[in-house]
Copies of this chain bind each other. A is one copy, B any other.
Amino acid sequence: MTRTMGVLGGKWKLIIISYLTQPRRFGQLAQRMSLISRKVLTEQLRELEEDGIVRREAFAEAPPRVEYSLTEYGRALLPILEQLSAWHSAAPATAAVQ
């Protein structure tokens, strides 16, 4: 568990992953997650890539195009994240009020 948190620890990582249900360009990600700065978005994507969760594909075009997608391993996280979301939206009233 502690190690799992090491890989998914950044407060943005699970959010980034949940946006990668399909391949997306860097600009698309930055636009949809306007709360995260470009710098941090780049950093987290690099780390996810190192951990084998995300695949980065750069096309030698102009203007540049870079697509991010989930690896097999990363895709395996999606159903778990859905369960997490479902869990959270099922919060009992006493907690939801807070």
Contacts and interface: CB of A to CB of B under 8 A. Distances in A.
A39 interface: no
* Copies of this protein, total: 2
A92 B80 contact: no
Contacts of A18: 1
A35 to B, nearest CB: 8
Interface string A61-87: 000000000011100110011011101
Interface of A: 1-5, 7-9, 11, 14-15, 18, 35, 50-53, 71-73, 76-77, 80-81, 83-85, 87-88, 90-92, 94-96, 98
6 contacts: A1-B84, A4-B88, A7-B88, A52-B98, A71-B92, A80-B84
